[in-house]
Amino acid sequence: MKHILALVPGGIGDQLLFFPTLENLKQAYPDAEIDPIVEPRALGAYRVCPLSHEKSLETIRFDFTDRNGLADWSNLLGIIRDREYDAVLSYDRTFLAGFMLWLTGISNRVGYRGSAADLFYTHTVPLKTEQYKAQLYGDLLSGLGIPAADSVPRIALLKEDLSWAEAEQKRLGIGESGYILIHGNCSQLSKFQGVDKSYPPEKWLPIIARLRQQQPELPIVVACGPDDILFVNQLAEMTREFRATTPGDIGKLAAMVAGANLMLCTDSAPLQLAVAVETPTVALFGPTDPEKRLPKSDKVSIVQSPTGKMADIDPEAVLKRLFG
């Protein structure tokens, strides 16, 4: 196979979890070009994709969450037909996506069995939603006869992003002892969808206070992205015991995560970055299932809300994970 397509709806975290599938595809077909169809909000993830650095893939932009009309799907269909793909892997389980792929005439169309679109596929695989999502993605490979392989995401950092992080640490006055990085917010889309993944600023106060008491030599840095400005401003009104960093893209954020001694975060894209670079992490979970979002790892310690609501996580439970 020389040209393979992948439909991967979802945000940056979902793309990071799909990276192992892309790499396993490349190992099976070293000469193939692989093109993921990605939502605009998630395109930034491919700045840290190893295959992007190797020039082995080209992303196609399509907003699965938009109210796409017939003209939008027709345009996408035209792009796909022009590129003459040999195979497609689809995580999109909707009838319309399956029908569109059937119209492309791609000879090998792989999707999940039992979905609304499975009659349009030439090969279907079991849909095991209870497992780690990277493995769920990886199951699609069996539709092409590719055996299961490592499902832990791996990323590659650009030299310019590492240089930026080094300069940022100097700007923040961080010495050789390192720092603790916090990301406590979630994307605006998650909030819009009613998925509770943010830990309230006031809940961070006793955690930050204890960290300063127990680890005074380690500065506390709070990551601030476009969706985090209100969260960081509210936290700043309550305490001055932290320093804020504003990485301009996912690569620079990943470099800051890689340089941290410890990461504290919620179930969000920065958590997937921490897993990929193996930074020791304490992850806070509310309604989402950690087993579906994380691999087995001694680098990540989980604090799960007893009620499914993030605000109901007791700061003492977080501190117990940190200090025993």
Are 91 and 164 part of one and the same domain? no
In a domain, 261, yes or no: yes
Are 72 and 168 part of one and the same domain? no
Q: Is the pLDDT of residue 235 over 80?
A: yes
In a domain, 150, yes or no: no
Q: Give pLDDT, residue 191.
A: 57
How sure is the predictor about 53, in pLDDT bands with cuts at 50, 70 and 90?
confident
> Which of 82, 115, 144 is a domain's end point?
144
Per-residue pLDDT of 255-314, as tens digits, reads 999 999 999 999 999 999 999 999 999 999 999 999 999 999 999 999 999 999 999 999
Are 209 and 137 part of one and the same domain? no
In a domain, 149, yes or no: no
Mean pLDDT within 229-236 = 94
Can you give the chain as a three-state secondary structure string? Answer: CCEEEEECCCCHHHHHHHHHHHHHHHHHCCCCEEEEEECHHHHHHHHCCHHHHCCCECCEECCCCCCCCHHHHHHHHHHHHHHCCCEEEECCCCHHHHHHHHHHCCCEEEEECCCCCHHHCCEEECCCCCCCHHHHHHHHHHHHCCCCCCCCCCCCCCHHHHHHHHHHHHHCCCCCCCCEEEECCCCHHHHHCCCCCCCCHHHHHHHHHHHHHHCCCCCEEEECCCCCHHHHHHHHHHCCCCEEECCCCHHHHHHHHHHCCEEEEECCHHHHHHHHHCCCEEEEECCCCHHHHCCCCCCEEEEECCCCCHHHCCHHHHHHHHHC
Are 135 and 216 part of one and the same domain? no
Q: Give pLDDT, residue 26.
A: 94
In a domain, 230, yes or no: yes
Per-residue pLDDT of 99-150, as tens digits, reads 999 999 999 999 999 988 889 999 999 999 999 999 999 999 999 999 877 7
Range of the domain at 273: 159-323
Count of other CB atoms within 10 angstroms of residue 298: 6
> Which of 111, 144, 177 is a domain's end point?
144
Are 163 and 140 part of one and the same domain? no
Q: Is the pLDDT of residue 1 over 60?
A: yes
How sure is the predictor about 163, in pLDDT bands with cuts at 50, 70 and 90?
very high
Are 132 and 165 part of one and the same domain? no
Query: Between 160 and 64, where is the model more confident?
Result: 160
Q: Give pLDDT, residue 187.
A: 63
> Which of 112, 144, 176 is a domain's end point?
144
Q: Give pLDDT, residue 30.
A: 95
**Mean pLDDT of the residues in the chain:** 93
State if pTM tops 0.85: yes
Q: Give pLDDT, residue 66.
A: 81
In a domain, 163, yes or no: yes
Are 245 and 272 part of one and the same domain? yes
Are 127 and 251 part of one and the same domain? no
Are 170 and 240 part of one and the same domain? yes
- Domain with 80 in it: what CATH number? 3.40.50.2000
Lowest-confidence range among 29-33, 41-45, 188-192, 288-292? 188-192
Are 104 and 8 part of one and the same domain? yes
Q: Give pLDDT, residue 189.
A: 59
Q: Is the pLDDT of residue 190 over 90?
A: no
Are 106 and 235 part of one and the same domain? no
